[in-house]
Amino acid sequence: GVEEEYDSMESEATDSADDDDQSRPYYLVYASDEASRPGVEASIRSVQAHASGPVEFLYVGEKPLRDMSSDVRVHFIELSAVAEKYDLAAYANDRFLRHGKNEGLNQNPANYVRFAMHQLLPKQRKAMWIDADTIVECDVVQLLKSALTDSDSTNTIAAVPRDGFPVGLTRRGRKYAEGINTTFNAGMYIVDLNRWREQHISEMIKRIADVNRKYGLYLKGSQPPLALIVGEKFEHLPRSWNVKMADLDTSTDERPSLGGKLSDW
């Protein structure tokens, strides 16, 4: 179950380690259905290949990952158990199911696991969320060490900024985005889990998801409500940490930190 798996993770990760211990691993969280599992496996291998320190992976899915090397530490929790325990259906967007391209994304509970990270990792301060289709080409450990370190800040996430208001909003939803001129891509971001808990971010996202089901604020799944709640109050990561494959300049030797989203899994 969820509690048993977390107890196992904690006992292994915290033996003779504290928050300042450099041997304490950083956690990266993935969630997917079975169809997207190969993308998760590729992403995890890319993270492990570049990591300069200990990292561990929490995978929430329908079945455990396959053929991972022995040096990759993956903790598996069944998606259906997480969806039930943390009521992920409360975040779902069922208002626009007639838009076929949004149906799977809006109703798939894996898309909303990100809103339970603070519960899945109750003793962790920071964690990284990565979408299932993302290949990493640089060291996430250094990024995790440097992000969200300002003790005077109240930012809950660190993400790559994007100019403009949040994507996927309806005309009515844009009224909720007034004053937001810089948003972010939620495919990869770092969360300060303590601040997330203290500021009750998931509870606020549930409330706006409920408003959306009644009045239709956005078309998509988890990106719009997260962006509406966070607004412009997030730490900016370098833009090279979230690059679409189509945007890479292959004429130079310059490589981005995050190789972007893959569409062919």
- Return the structure tokens found at 73: 């530490």
pTM attached to this predicted model = 0.85
Please report where in the chains the tokens 């109240």 appear, as a residue: 154
pLDDT of residue 202: 98
pLDDT of residue 96: 59
Q: What is the edge-to-edge ordering of all strands in the sheet holding 55-61?
A: 74-78, 55-61, 26-31, 126-130, 182-192, 157-163, 235-236
- Return the structure tokens found at 15: 């033996």
Sign of CA dihedral 233, 85, 106, 130: positive
Please report where in the chains the tokens 């300049």 appear, as a residue: 249
| pLDDT tens, per residue, the chain with 265 residues | 565 655 555 545 443 344 444 568 999 999 999 999 999 999 999 999 999 999 999 999 999 999 899 999 999 999 999 999 999 999 999 875 555 555 556 889 999 999 999 999 999 999 999 999 899 989 999 999 999 999 999 999 999 999 999 999 999 999 999 999 999 999 999 999 999 999 999 999 999 999 999 999 998 899 999 999 999 999 999 987 776 544 444 344 343 444 443 333 3
